[in-house]
Structure 1
Amino acid sequence: MANASIAMLGIVHEQLTEDNYEYWKVCLERYLIGQGFWDVVTGKKPQPPKDADDYEDWTIRNALALHAIQLSCGPDIYKKFRKTTSAKDAWEHLAPSNLRPPDDHEDLNDKFHHLNYQTLYNAIESGDWKQIKGLLELHDNPVSARITSKGDTALHVAILAGHLGIAEKLVKLMSADDLEITNEFGSTGLSLAAICGCTKLAKLMVDKNPKLVSISNDLHIDGNIPVIVAALYNRKEMVHYLYKVTPIDELSPEKGRYGSTLLHCLISAEIYDVALELLEEYPKLGLTKDRFGKYTLRILAQKPSAFPSGTKLVFWRRWIYSSMSLFRELVSGLLKNFAPDVYHRKLVHREALRILSCICKEIPKLSESQLTEIGIDEMIYDAIKHGILEFIFELIKCDPPIIWRKDSKGRSIFAHAIVLRQDKIFSLIHGFGTRKNIMAHRHDIFGNNYLHLAAKLSPPGQLERVSGPALQMQRELQWFQEVESMVQPKCKEEVNENNKTPATVFTEEHAELAKEGERWMKNTAASGMVVGTLIAAVMFTTAFTVPGGNNNNTGLPIFLKYDAFKLFVMSNALSMFSSSTSVLMFLGILTARFAEKDFFRSLPMKVIIGLLCLFLSIVTMMVAFGCAIFMTLNDRLSWIDIPVIILALIPITLFCMLQFPLLIHIIHCTFVSTISSKPEKHPLGVS
């Protein structure tokens, strides 16, 4: 930062602020002239062709000029045009016409002309049409007059104030040319109507002057035509109307960036039906840079909610989603009424998939340089990071050789799937037969093979999907062993550029997680051991102090003749044995060595057995207690049976609520969850 400040002081005395623009501009202009960069900055020396003799000289001078501008304006202002590579564009961005002072010959009467309409302005703001109408009759053509300092007409003010009824009446009084008047921000009345979403008002204006749909906002909204403005503000009804009345050639790639910008805004606002219609007309728009410097395909790669794989639903909504057929109107209608949000999400996914397919079909038509220019590697990475299976699936289907493509780090689709722990995307690798083994033997620029990548610690977002450090460690081991079963044996002993084998990388990367997993296991075992020990002690005592006591002559229990006594003895014994077993399991955890491989199956199995036995001991303890109450009271207090049963269920229910989710989760992670599974349908049509 100190060096930057010193360099900056050699160009201008102080960085650009809101108060020193004119002084700053003069200083920087003189510096650029003195250094011989002024013809590049002003565009008098345009960029020559790459094969021209002076191309290298122009490139150097452009870079030096741009660097000087960046240093002079400071980081806060620079970030607004940080993506530009042209010194001319940067200079024009910092010197817009509205920042320049007025010309000396400017008529001050014109400047303050709007003050003559202050009463009209106040009447519009208050919504008093009777007064407005009277004032309009007093002035000469006031509907076209600018009545604010920002150049707003009466129509602009009425729309901004929310008086749409008055705006409609004003439109009827205005001529077609009057409707084309823009304010200081370049906005027509139609642009403001698009922002507020008043379709009725927009129709009135377009019917009177169809050219309005092609007039862009020069400054306020980055030069966008009304349909784009409506999409930016998520006005769906307005978008549908304006798209129909906007000439389609206005949105073609050859016309400019209106089409790609509209497509971007439509995707962001989830107006997929219009986006699909536009793409079918101009398929190249999905791979054309828009006014924001972005590509629609990358927006899709960062929007998991647009696809089924990025949508999480509870089980019953998931069942409705899978049962909903968009081609069976009767069933769809019933389900639509029952779960409209699920129905809407299904429609969104269907349209988004069609849009994705339409764009991906253009990928094979691009050269390598074009793919690099649009940032295909970044798009692939984003899609994998967000777990968008459909994106990768469609990309491979449309352009199969892309599976061999490597990014700047030398990593392919499946290498990224391993690093980012996206198991569904990684499962696609099973559809490539022998090619799978070839891909698995590839290395990145750091010398890492697939097993090195699997040895790295998962991203935090992926780790958090698994509850508890011990189960997170188990998941990491599952990934490592899955990839290990795929690669060639020699990959296990290969070293990367840091001279580390995959096993060494795994140990170093997971050292802290292993310690946290050990603490988690021991805390869980200690808590379960306390409860198990308490139950075992109670059940052991109860075995020798049976309810009702013993016969003094025979020594046998008095209630031996009751069937409930036999159930009592069985429940007591089961509770005693199961609690003892749980204590032993938890003790085994406390005394375990906690090696890395123990987290894979040994330790989770002990937790599962311990929790199951603990649950069984609590249930049988409650049964034994209920039997004892029943025998002691006999038939004398029969009404107490039901309350006792209900109360006995309370600890069982609490255990189920507090511990069963953990138990089910451990069982699922240990026996059900797998890293890799063959997809039902492969992009290349192979199994």
Structure 2
Amino acid sequence: MDSSTIKEESKLKKKNSHFKLCWATLEGDWNTAERIYNEDNIDTQVKLSKDGDTALHIAVVARRTGFVKKLLEQMNKEDLAVKNNAGNTTFFLAVASKRVEIVKAMMEKNDDIVKIRGDNDTLPLHKAALEGDKEMVEYLYEATGDELLDDNDRFHLLVNLINHGLYDVALDLVKRHPQIALARGKNKESALHLLARMPVLTRILDFNSIRLCKDSAIYMYNEVKRDVIKRCPPMLGRQRVKEGNELSLRDRINERDELMNERKQRLGWGYRINETNRQLLYTGQEIPDSAFELVERLWKQVRLLDDSQILEIIRKPWSLIFEAAKQGNLRFLKIIFSTYPDLMFEVDENHYTILHFAVMYRRGNIFNFIYNIGRFKDMVVRDTDKEENNILHLAAKLPPVDRPDIESPALHIQMQIDKRWFEEVKRITHPVYAEAKNKDGKTPRALFSEQHEELRNKADKYTKKIATACIMGSTLIATVVFAAFSRYQVAPMKIQGLHILSEKLPS
């Protein structure tokens, strides 16, 4: 056998060993992998894929926790810094895998790997925030030294935390670095702009009253149970640490939650009844209190600027006031208005105020809030836009297509909602403006009829379809019952003044 043949066979054998090792890694079969390493004298840093992945890269992506721990025992500290062709360490991929146990095991081997950036010059902490993994973010937030982050890193971290609803960590970051409130991203949006888009709960309009009563009872029972447990401190066995700087991130979050719960306890059962209504009558994810505490912190920093700079942040690249109104985010707006009431008089290029946006987007909570400010309401209800539409014309139109939520899938209910909304807005409108015509010569009532013609036709068809289905169901039931009566020769008889049916079964 010549040398070239021997070389080819050796190369083929090596390739087969790598192939088997790759499969053993994917399956988490450490016994097979260990045997291959020993018999074929393969280094743990050998590349097993065309992307330059080692066995540890592959095991991490496959989330083989046990395999990773065994492999780490065979490796040196420096081996964890090896990158694949994409420029990612095994630790960076471990963060993306959302396996905190793997990350912790690697940190025990080499705690410096938390500093090594991956693709797009991204730190592992940023990768965790981008994935939205709460447990991973909290762990790496503590493990990553603050000196590793510059202002740009902190802002992008804050953006990812807000986008994934990790408001507790975001709040802690802003407390440490309040100047981050003034930073803007590539799209010129600040953190406040992101928070203005927070979606609110959507009211459930199609609900079953029996289910509602049952769920109300269960919810209130659980509230009473929690209240009793909280009044028994010896059972909890938890001691609060007084010095805030001695607490870990998780302890600081728990501390803040406890203080918030104590405030809610002081509000009494009226607050809990309102909470019950919100839990049962609304759908969607509720915005936590920490999100609005974050808004307060950011807004406090913005208020330190002069008026022109404040308005620059409020208005550009788009008005966060009007965006919050679209979302129905009243709590956000109250925080802003409480210290800068002049912003309630903001108008856009169509001469729309916050009240106009509340009417267009069917935001009853904001509409009622502005309505109670009588002077402001009286000033804006008579205003018209470029098409000479007043506020009642806007109520007559169908909701904008970019409305963040759809309130009801039932067309006939949606028609009723729009009618009720039109009448509600009409109630605050002077009779003269209620009959005013726009540029097209249409009154609000005429515009309502025109805009809702298609919806009305669809609602009528929907109602007829439901009625037809009910009639067919009733007919089918009656037919089956009649057939059963005929078969068993059911005869009427009286017992104690009540008419019942007695079966004469065939013998």
TM-score by length of 2: 0.65
Match of 1:453 in 2: 394
8 Å Cα contact 1:429/1:436 also seen in 2:
yes
- Counterparts of 2:231 and 2:116, CA distance in 1: 42
8 Å Cα contact 1:216/1:225 also seen in 2:
yes
Alignment of 1:172-571 (within 5 A): 172-218=73-119, 222-251=120-149, 254=151, 256=152, 258-283=153-178, 285=180, 288-289=183-184, 296-304=191-199, 307=200, 309-310=201-202, 314=212, 317=215, 320=219, 324=223, 330=229, 349-364=288-303, 365=305, 366-375=309-318, 377=319, 379-458=320-399, 465=408, 469=412, 475-492=417-434, 494-513=436-455
- Counterparts of 2:230 and 2:499, CA distance in 1: 45
Shift in alpha-carbon separation, 1:241–1:446, aligned structure 2, 3 A: same
Shift in alpha-carbon separation, 1:242–1:403, aligned structure 2, 3 A: same
8 Å Cα contact 1:363/1:399 also seen in 2:
no
- Counterparts of 1:284 and 1:311, CA distance in 2: 37
Q: Shift of the alpha carbon at 1:417?
A: 0.8
1:474-511 CA-to-partner distances (Å, cap 9, x unmatched) read: 54444334333434554345443444443443343244
Match of 1:641 in 2: 498
- Secondary structure of 2:297's counterpart equals helix
- Counterparts of 2:78 and 2:143, CA distance in 1: 19
- Counterparts of 1:431 and 1:134, CA distance in 2: 78
Q: Shift of the alpha carbon at 1:207?
A: 3.5
8 Å Cα contact 1:144/1:178 also seen in 2:
yes
Moved more, 448-457 or 134-143: 134-143
- Counterparts of 2:312 and 2:446, CA distance in 1: 38
Letter matched to residue 426 of structure 1: F
- Secondary structure of 2:372's counterpart equals helix
1:600-629 CA-to-partner distances (Å, cap 9, x unmatched) read: xxxxxxxxxxxxxxxxxxxxxxxxxxxxx9
Query: Cα RMSD between the aligned structures?
Result: 4.7
Give the percent of matched residue pairs that are identical in Structure 1 and Structure 2. 27
Shift in alpha-carbon separation, 1:385–1:327, aligned structure 2, 3 A: farther
Moved more, 147-156 or 312-321: 312-321
- Counterparts of 1:386 and 1:347, CA distance in 2: 13
Q: Shift of the alpha carbon at 1:423?
A: 1.2
8 Å Cα contact 1:418/1:454 also seen in 2:
yes
1:82-113 CA-to-partner distances (Å, cap 9, x unmatched) read: xxxxxxxxxxxxxxxxxxxxxxxxxxxxxx9x
1:57-81 CA-to-partner distances (Å, cap 9, x unmatched) read: xxxxxxxxxxxxxxxxxxxxxxxxx
Shift in alpha-carbon separation, 1:463–1:362, aligned structure 2, 3 A: same
- Secondary structure of 2:86's counterpart equals coil
Q: Shift of the alpha carbon at 1:446?
A: 3.2
Moved more, 391-400 or 187-196: 391-400
Q: Shift of the alpha carbon at 1:119?
A: 5.4
8 Å Cα contact 1:213/1:226 also seen in 2:
yes
Alignment of 1:673-684 (within 5 A): none
Letter matched to residue 408 of structure 2: R
- Counterparts of 1:329 and 1:352, CA distance in 2: 28
Q: Shift of the alpha carbon at 1:239?
A: 1.9
- Counterparts of 2:423 and 2:339, CA distance in 1: 32
Alignment of 1:124-135 (within 5 A): 124-130=25-31, 132-133=33-34
Q: Shift of the alpha carbon at 1:641?
A: 3.3
Moved more, 144-153 or 512-521: 512-521
User: Residue 160 of structure 1: which of 58, 61, 65 is its match?
Assistant: 61
Shift in alpha-carbon separation, 1:281–1:175, aligned structure 2, 3 A: same
- Counterparts of 2:464 and 2:73, CA distance in 1: 79
- Counterparts of 1:300 and 1:643, CA distance in 2: 65
- Counterparts of 2:302 and 2:35, CA distance in 1: 62
Q: Which has the higher contact order (CA 8 A, sep 6+)?
A: 2
8 Å Cα contact 1:263/1:286 also seen in 2:
no
Q: Shift of the alpha carbon at 1:416?
A: 0.8
Shift in alpha-carbon separation, 1:404–1:466, aligned structure 2, 3 A: farther
- Counterparts of 2:221 and 2:155, CA distance in 1: 33
8 Å Cα contact 1:120/1:132 also seen in 2:
yes
- Counterparts of 1:126 and 1:513, CA distance in 2: 56
Q: Note the residue ranges of structure 2 that are not aligned, 5 or more in a row.
A: 1-11, 236-260, 262-274, 471-491, 502-507
- Counterparts of 1:416 and 1:231, CA distance in 2: 33
Match of 1:560 in 2: none
Shift in alpha-carbon separation, 1:136–1:328, aligned structure 2, 3 A: same
Shift in alpha-carbon separation, 1:325–1:488, aligned structure 2, 3 A: farther
Q: Shift of the alpha carbon at 1:159?
A: 1.5
8 Å Cα contact 1:266/1:272 also seen in 2:
yes
Q: Shift of the alpha carbon at 1:412?
A: 1.9
8 Å Cα contact 2:181/2:302 also seen in 1:
no
- Counterparts of 2:362 and 2:136, CA distance in 1: 42
8 Å Cα contact 1:206/1:212 also seen in 2:
yes
8 Å Cα contact 1:302/1:382 also seen in 2:
yes
Shift in alpha-carbon separation, 1:316–1:126, aligned structure 2, 3 A: closer
- Counterparts of 1:266 and 1:418, CA distance in 2: 32
Is 2:87 the counterpart of 1:148? no
8 Å Cα contact 1:361/1:398 also seen in 2:
no
8 Å Cα contact 1:447/1:496 also seen in 2:
yes
Shift in alpha-carbon separation, 1:126–1:293, aligned structure 2, 3 A: farther
Letter matched to residue 281 of structure 1: R
Q: Shift of the alpha carbon at 1:149?
A: 1.8
- Secondary structure of 2:171's counterpart equals helix
8 Å Cα contact 2:351/2:384 also seen in 1:
yes
1:26-51 CA-to-partner distances (Å, cap 9, x unmatched) read: xxxxxxxxxxxxxxxxxxxxxxxxxx
1:341-372 CA-to-partner distances (Å, cap 9, x unmatched) read: x79x9996233332333344445444333334
- Secondary structure of 1:184's counterpart equals coil
